[in-house]
Structure 1
Amino acid sequence: MDTMKKFLLGTSCVAMASVLPTVAASAQESTSADDGFAIEEVVVTGSRRAARSAADTPAPVDVISADQFANQGDGDMSNLLRTVVPSYNVNAQPISDAATLVRPANLRGLAPDQTLVLLNGKRRHRAAVISFLGGGLSDGAQGPDISVIPSIALKQVEVLRDGAAAQYGSDAIAGVMNFVLRDDAEGGSVEAKWGQTYEGDGDQRMFAANIGLPLGPDGFANFSAEWREADPTSRSVQRDDAQGLIDGGNNNVRQPYAQVWGTPEIRDDWKVFLNAGLNTSSGEAYLFGNYAERETEGGFFYRNPDTRSGVNVSGTQRLVGDMAPDDGITCPGGINFNEGEATTGTVADPLNVGDADEAAVLAQIFADPNCFVFNEMFPGGFTPQFGGQLNDAAIAMGYRGEMDNGLAYDVSMHVGRNQADFFIKNTVNPSLGSLTPTEFELGSYIQLEKNFNADLSYPIDVGFFSDLNVAAGFEWREEQFEARIGQTESWETGILAQPFELENADGDIVVGNQGFGVAANGFAGFSPNVAGEWDRTNIALYLDMEADVTEDLILGAALRWEDFSDFGSTTNFKVSGLYKITDALRLRGSISSGFRAPTVGQQQVVNISTVFEEVDGRLQLAQRGTIPPTNPVSADFGAKPLGPEKSNAFTLGLAADIGAASLTIDYFNIKLKDRITQSATINLSTEDRTRLVESGIGFAADLAAFRFFVNDFDTRTQGIDIVATIPLDLFENGSTNLSFAGNYTKTKVTDFNPATLDDLRIAQLETSLPRYRGNATFTHTDDKWRMLARVNYYGGHTEYHLGSFGLPIDAGGKITFDAEFGYNVMENVEVVIGAENLFDTYPDDNPHAGIAGAAYPVESPFGFNGGMYYVRARYSF
Structure 2
Amino acid sequence: MKKILTKTTLALAVSSVLYGPSIWAQQTDEATADTNNIERIVTLGSRVNGRTATESTSPIDIISGEQLASTGASELGKALQMSAPSFNFSTTTISDGSDIIRPATLRGLGPDQVLVLVNGKRRHQQALVNVQETIGKGSAGYDINAIPISAVARVEILRDGAAAQYGSDAIAGVINITLKSGDGGSFNAEVGQTYEGDGEIAQVGLNAGHATNNGFVNFTLEYRDRGMTNRASPATLEATGGQLIGDWLDRDGDPVVRLHVGDADSENYYAWLNAGYNINSTTELYAFGGWSTRDGGSAGFFRGRGHPRTIEALYPDGFLPQLKTEADDQSIAVGIRGDLPNAWLWDASVVYGRNDFGFNSANSANVSWYYEPDGNGGIYADTPTEAFDGELVFEQTTFNLDFNGTIDIGNELLYLATGLEFRTDSYAINPGDPVSWAYGRTNDPSIEILTPSGAPAEAGIQGFPGFSPGQAVDADRDSYGVYVDAEYYLTPEFLVAGAVRYEDYDIAGGNVSGKLSLRYDVDSDFSVRGTLATGFRAPGVQQIYYSQVLTNIVNGTLVQTGTVANDDEVARQFGINELEEETSESISLGLVKRWDNGFDLTADIYQINIDERIVISEPLTASIGPEFADVLAANNLGAAQFFTNSVDTKTTGVDIIGSYPTELFEGSLDLTAAISFMDTNVERVNSVSSLIPAEQIFNQTQVLRIEQGQPGEKATFSGKWQRNDWTVNLALNYFGSVEGQAFTGIRHEWSAKWLTDVSVAYDLTSDFSVMVGANNVFDTYPDEWGDAGIPFSQAGFKYGWETLPFGINGGYYYARFNYQF
Q: Same fold (TM over 0.5)?
A: yes
Are residue 828 (structure 1) and residue 767 (structure 2) matched? Answer: yes
The aligned runs of 1:488-637 (5 Å cut-off) are: 488-494=434-440, 498-499=445-446, 514-614=455-555, 619-637=556-574
- Given that 1:40 and 1:55 are in contact with CA atoms closer than 8 Å, whether structure 2 keeps it comes out as no
1:464, distance to aligned residue in structure 2 (A): 5.4
1:497 Cα shift? 7.2
8 Å CA contact retained: 1:430, 1:518: yes
The one-letter code sitting in structure 1 at the alignment partner of 2:807 is G
Conserved? CA contact 2:104–2:144, under 8 Å? no
- For 1:273 and 1:630, locate their aligned partners in 2 and report how far apart those are by CA, in whole Å: 37
Kindly provide the CA deviation profile for residues 327-360 of structure 1, in whole angstroms up to 9, marking residues without a partner as x.
Answer: xxxxxxxxxxxxxxxxxxxxxxxxxxxxxxxxxx
Which residue of structure 1 lines up, in the alignment, with residue 265 of structure 2? 265
Give the structure 1 partner of residue 382 of structure 2: 435
Task: Single out whichever of 630-639 and 469-478 deviates more from structure 2.
Answer: 630-639
Q: Which amino acid aligns with 2:588?
A: T
Paired residues for 1:405-420 under 5 Å: 405-420=342-357
Q: Give the CA deviation at 1:832.
A: 0.6
Distance in 2, matches of 1:375 and 1:722, equals 59
Deviating more after overlay: 377-386 vs 707-716? 377-386
- Structure 1 partner of 2:225: 229
Q: Does the CA contact (< 8 Å) of 2:334 and 2:351 recur in 1? A: yes
Counterpart CA distance in 2 for 1:119 and 1:461 is 32
Is residue 722 of structure 1 aligned with residue 656 of structure 2? Answer: yes
SS of the aligned residue for 1:638 comes to coil
| Alpha-carbon distance between aligned partners in 2 of 1:153 and 1:455, rounded to the nearest angstrom | 26
Corresponding residue of 2:677: 744
State the partner residue of 1:333. none
Q: SS at 1:744's partner residue?
A: strand
Aligned equivalent of 1:871: 815
Give the structure 2 partner of residue 449 of structure 1. Answer: 396
1:832 is aligned with what amino acid? M
User: 1:146-166, CA deviations, whole angstroms, 9 ceiling, x for partnerless residues?
Assistant: 101111111110000000000
1:497–1:811 distance in 2 versus 1, CA, 3 Å: farther
Counterparts of residues 20-419 of structure 1 (less than 5 Å): 41-135=40-134, 137-184=135-182, 186-214=183-211, 217-241=213-237, 250-251=250-251, 256-267=256-267, 269-279=268-278, 280-307=280-307, 311=309, 374-419=311-356
Alpha-carbon deviations, 1:363-401, whole Å to 9, x = none?
xxxxxxxxxxx2222222221111211111110011111
With over 3 angstroms needed to count, the CA separation of the structure-2 counterparts of 1:254 and 1:574, relative to structure 1, is farther
Structure 2: distance between partners of 1:392 and 1:247: 41
The answer to whether structure 1 residue 642 and structure 2 residue 588 are counterparts is no
C-alpha distance 98-247 of structure 1, shift in aligned 2 (>3 A): closer
- The AA in structure 1 aligned to 2:418 is A
User: Taking structure 1 as reference, are residues 737 and 386 closer, same or farther at Cα in structure 2, changes over 3 Å only?
Assistant: same
SS at match of 2:470: coil
Q: What is aligned with 1:810? A: 749
3-state secondary structure, aligned to 2:67: helix
* Counterpart in the other structure of 2:375: none
Q: Could you tell which deviates more after superposition, 863-872 or 242-251?
A: 242-251
Report the Cα distance in structure 2 between the residues aligned to 1:82 and 1:692, rounded to whole angstroms: 42
Kept in 1, the 8 Å contact 2:417–2:485? The answer is: yes
Q: State the 1:580 CA deviation.
A: 0.4
Change (3 A) 1:678 1:106: same
CA deviation vs aligned residue, 1:158-196 (integer Å, no higher than 9, x gap): 000000000110100010000001110x21110010111
Q: Which has the larger radius of gyration?
A: 1
Kindly provide the CA deviation profile for residues 460-508 of structure 1, in whole angstroms up to 9, marking residues without a partner as x: 111354x101211110000000111211211222169734589xxxxxx
**Residues 585-637 of structure 1 deviation map (CA, whole Å, 9 limit, x = unaligned):** 100010000011111121111113323221xxxx2222222111343443343
Conserved 8 A contact 1:539-1:562: yes
Secondary structure of the residue aligned to 2:711 is coil
Counterpart Cα distance in 2 of 1:738 and 1:33: 22
Q: Is the 8 Å Cα contact of residues 775 and 793 (structure 1) preserved in structure 2?
A: yes
- Is the CA contact (8 Å cut-off) linking 1:772 and 1:794 kept in structure 2? yes
Shift of 1:581: 0.9
Q: CA deviation at 1:548?
A: 2.4
Map Cα deviations across residues 190-235 of structure 1 (whole Å, 9 max, x no partner). Answer: 0010111011110011000111113x53311011111000010011
* Kept after mapping to 1: 8 A contact 2:793/2:800: no
* Deviation (angstroms), 1:283: 2.1
Q: How far has the Cα of 1:239 moved from its partner?
A: 2.2
Which stretch shifts more, 850-859 or 822-831? 850-859
Distance in structure 2 (CA, Å) of the matches to 1:297 and 1:636: 38
Q: 1:625 to 1:804 in 2, by over 3 A?
A: farther
Q: Which amino acid aligns with 1:651?
A: S
SS at match of 2:78: helix
C-alpha separation between the residues in 1 aligned to 2:248 and 2:262?
27
CA deviation after TM superposition for structure 1 residue 544, in Å? 0.8
Q: Secondary structure at the match of 1:490?
A: helix
Residue from 724, 730, 734 that aligns with 1:793: 734
Q: Secondary structure at the match of 2:237?
A: helix
| Residue 855 of structure 1 pairs with residue 807 of structure 2 | no
CA distance in 2, matches of 1:691, 1:568: 30
TM-score where L is the length of structure 1: 0.83
| Cα distance, 1:49 vs structure 2 | 1.1
Cα distance in 2 between the residues matched to 1:435 and 1:566 = 46
Question: What TM-score results when the alignment is normalised by the length of structure 2?
Answer: 0.88
Deviation at 1:829, TM superposition (A): 0.8
Q: Which amino acid aligns with 2:329?
A: D
| Alpha-carbon separation, structure 1, partners of 2:704 and 2:710 | 11
Greater Cα offset, 856-865 or 592-601: 856-865
Aligned 8 A contact 2:191 2:814 in 1? yes
The partner residue of 1:774 within 708, 715, 732 is 715
Size of the alignment, in residue pairs?
Answer: 754
| Distance in 1 separating the partners of 2:325 and 2:93 | 14
**Structure 1 residue 101: deviation in Å?**
2.1
Q: Percent identity?
A: 34
**2:24 aligns to what?**
none
Counterpart CA distance in 1 for 2:641 and 2:719 is 47
Measure how far apart 1:259 and its partner are: 1.1
SS in 1 for 2:112: helix
CA displacement 1:225-256 (0-9 Å, x = unmatched)? 11000010011112233667999984399984
Look up the equivalent residue of 2:167 and give its one-letter code.
Answer: G
Partner of 1:473 in structure 2? 419
The question of whether the paired residues in 2 share the 8 Å contact of 1:134 and 1:140 is answered with: no
What do the CA deviations read for 1:442-472 (whole angstroms, capped 9, x no partner)?
111111100000001231111354x101211
| CA drift at 1:40 | 6.7
Cα distance in 2 between the residues matched to 1:212 and 1:581: 43
